[in-house]
Amino acid sequence: MTEDSALPILGHALDQPSAFTPENLIDDVRRSRQIPAGTVPPVCILEFDGDITDWLVRDGIAKPFAPWACFHTSMFAMELEGVKCGIIARTIGGPYAVLIAEQLRAAGAKHIVGLTSAGRVSPDLPLPCLVVATSAIRDEGTSYHYLPPEQEVACESPLVPLLERELIATGWAVRSGKVWTTDAPYRETKTQLSKWAREGALAVEMQAASLFAFGIARQASVASVAMVSNAVDHAGAQFDTGSQEDGLQVLKAIARAAGSLFAAT
């Protein structure tokens, strides 16, 4: 393939700074919407589905966080296990999740955790369960804007082993390992599912590879927890992730994991 015909998704000058920055956007939002200055909570959770966030807000557990300067999302704040946490709902897909993660980092977040829905790839995975992603297959586009082309990207956050420990304490079935990140959930073929299962992928989701690449490039602590609740080969109930209280226990485990890191520094 010649340079002129190279795929655009692989043709990025990774060593050059961006002409458009999250800091610029935050400044513009503050001016146009008269948003007060403020640092976001140290732990920020990107909730893929939004159901848990909606419930937290309805029950008064999470309150609007006024200093969050973003055109696209609202943040809600709460204290869990002695740790102040922010949560943003419906950050669906790698491009959107990283867009928000860039702004969170610029606004002072110390740890960013994606809480995403996922489908089963490994036939041995119980349903439902939680997967703490340790690496991700880069079958998406966003990661190539941050790192050179490779098949996989690792999660380098120090949260990973702490997340597994704390999530096990919730009573969920918990696994740690590789996930497959795709931009096109309705183009998952049986051939792909078999291929990635053979290569060790546990689940398929839409964010982890993008977030991990961002985390490495920006030296940010980014992790991903997948709530695996469905599979094409599963005859039982699909998309059952338990009650909202179960979701709250997952959030508390994330807060405890981050709290352990804060206590160690």
Question: Span 169-186, mean pLDDT?
Answer: 97
Tens digit of each residue's pLDDT (9 = 90 or more) over 46-74: 999 999 999 999 999 999 999 999 999 99
pLDDT-derived band at 237 (thresholds 50, 70, 90) equals confident
* Contact of 143 with 97, CB cutoff 8 Å: no
Query: Above 90 in pLDDT, residue 238?
Result: no
Predicted TM-score of the model (pTM): 0.95
What's the CA gap between 185 and 183, in Å, rounded? Answer: 6
Q: Give the Å distances, CA to CA, from 105 to 27, 68, 78, 101, 150.
A: 14, 12, 19, 6, 25
Q: Can you give the pLDDT at residue 128? A: 94
> Strand 75-80 relative to strand 83-89: parallel, antiparallel, unpaired?
antiparallel
Listed in sequence order, the DSSP H helices in 34-77 are: 51-58
- 22: preceding bond cis by omega (within 30 degrees): no
Q: Can you give the pLDDT at residue 2? A: 44
Query: Above 80 in pLDDT, residue 236?
Result: no
Which has more pLDDT, 2 or 207? 207
What's the CA gap between 19 and 247, in Å, rounded? Answer: 39
Question: Span 186-198, mean pLDDT?
Answer: 96
Calculate the average pLDDT of the chain.
Answer: 95
Q: Give the Å distances, CA to CA, from 92 to 40, 181, 212, 224.
A: 21, 12, 15, 13
Tens digit of each residue's pLDDT (9 = 90 or more) over 111-128: 999 999 999 999 999 999
pLDDT-derived band at 140 (thresholds 50, 70, 90) equals very high
Nearest CA to 205 out of 90, 117, 92, 115 is that of 117
